[in-house]
Amino acid sequence: MGDLTQLAPPDAGSGTAELNELTMTEQQMALVVAAGGGRYVGLLEKIPGGMETVILFDSPQTGTTLGLGVSRFNVEAVRERIAKSNALFAKWAAR
């Protein structure tokens, strides 16, 4: 499938969308999430004039559902989001 870090994020609705002349399906989103260490959950559709589409995924360590806006979605951002969430859980568990 090539370098998943270069795929553009989707627009919600049909499960596929175009952004920056590239298309990403939900299956590809799930692969990006898996490559970042998470489990793909789904999409939170954009609100026109408001919030952008959010890709939802779980942290395997804590089971927490996390999200990233399409403008920030890539393998490294998924890794970072999971790591920050896991660190917060560890901090609170240590109290």
Tell which residue, 57, 34, 59, has the closest CA to residue 68.
Answer: 57
The residues facing 65 across adjacent strands are 58
The sign of the torsion formed by the CA atoms of 33, 37, 41, 44 equals negative
* Whether the predicted pLDDT of 14 surpasses 70: no
Question: What percent of the chain is modeled with pLDDT above 90?
Answer: 58
Distance of CA 53 to the CA centre of its chain: 10
**Domain span including residue 82:** 4-93
Domains in the chain: how many in total?
A: 1
**Coil, strand or helix at 8:** coil
pTM: 0.75
